[in-house]
Amino acid sequence: MANFNPEDWRRAWQKTENDQHKADQERHETAENSRVEKIVAAINGAIEQLRRQTDETTPKNKSERFWKRAEVLGLWAAAAVGVTAIWVANHDAGSQLTTMENQAIAMQGQLNEMKASGERSDKLIAANEKLANATENAGRAWIAITKFSFVNLNDAKDPLKTSVFYQNVGREPARAVRNRQIRGYLRNTIVPFSKWNFLPIWHQPDFEPKKICADVDQSESTSVIYPSSTFGFSITIDNPDNIPEDVIPIATDEVKKRTTMHFVMGCFSYETLKQTKHSSFCAFLNPNNGAIDTWVYSACPVGNDDY
């Protein structure tokens, strides 16, 4: 009969207990990962639903509007589930820390589980941030530039005076709307007009969106712009004050000769969802081989942004 060794028995018992703990831990890990992945998938689905909802036209009847509202409430419920899961994950991590202190032999396994819990929390936090941004974008106001055009090319004093057309393509009124406009000329006798989109001048700080929008919030508030997919407004960008009137005919002639670029840029600021938003724009008169009345404005490679 084999001798009974208490130490061997203790080691065998400890190994069995550790194996059982490891198996339970792996099952818990798999279940938690599956639960988090389902929550993240639900949130991503909600974001996609919001995106589609934003692209769709206004609902045609009360029933449709009801279901749209119900969907949005469902999205916020999904976000709440995500937040709850984050709390649970963090709570689990705290419990695991206590266990780790009491069971030194299982320390490595507990640390791995805490790491996985942190990764799950990061996934849920990122998904909820995406949902919050998508929800905000679906309901906010958006001031968008829709067109640039000449006011009157036959105007002897300022034939290149330009109108900027804009509208609120969002979902709520844009309040406390302010604007700032800039107009100028860039003389260029070297680079052909077909390459103007690549001029080094575009990299200057003056064409950065936040530079274009500088001080616009201190200008006078002009109006409230209500959402519309068809109706818009326009502003006229006059001759800059720092360019003498007798220089305008010379600059206009150089623009027609394609040796000087005419550009316009500006910024709108407005209130939406209790935040101040900015829409900056920049466009240059892009020549072709025809007469100037066939030319169009093209977006500058920089300076157009929403923030």
Same domain, 63 and 201: no
Percent of the chain with pLDDT over 90: 44
Q: How far apart are CA 122 and CA 74, in angstroms?
A: 22
Reported as half-sphere exposure (CB side, CA atoms, 13 A), residue 203 has a value of 3
Q: Is 1 contained in some domain?
A: no
Q: What is the pLDDT of residue 22?
A: 77
Give the domain range for residue 100: 6-139
Same domain, 161 and 287: yes
Same domain, 151 and 198: yes
Same domain, 94 and 212: no
Secondary structure class of 280 (helix, strand, coil):
strand
Q: What is the pLDDT of residue 64?
A: 44
Same domain, 102 and 241: no
String of DSSP letters for 91-121: HHHHHHHHHHHH-GGGHHHHHHHHHHHHHHH
Same domain, 133 and 206: no
Cβ pair 22, 109 in contact under 8 A: yes
Q: What is the pLDDT of residue 10?
A: 67
Q: What is the pLDDT of residue 93?
A: 43
Same domain, 180 and 291: yes
Token pair for residue 211? 């530079």
Q: Would you give per-residue pLDDT tens digits along the chain (307 residues)?
A: 455 566 666 676 677 777 777 777 777 777 777 776 776 676 677 666 666 665 554 434 444 443 344 344 433 333 334 433 333 334 444 454 444 444 444 545 555 555 556 666 676 666 666 666 665 667 899 999 999 999 999 998 899 999 999 999 999 999 999 999 999 999 887 899 999 999 999 999 999 999 999 989 888 877 899 999 888 999 999 887 778 888 899 999 999 999 999 999 999 999 999 999 999 999 999 999 999 999 999 999 999 999 9
Q: What is the pLDDT of residue 85?
A: 37
Q: What single DSSP character describes residue 292? A: G
Token pair for residue 56? 């769709």
pTM above 0.85, yes or no: no
Domain holding 114: CATH number?
1.10.132
Angle, alpha carbons 241-300-239 (nearest 5°)? 15
Same domain, 133 and 250: no
Q: What is the pLDDT of residue 112?
A: 57
Same domain, 193 and 268: yes
Same domain, 184 and 222: yes
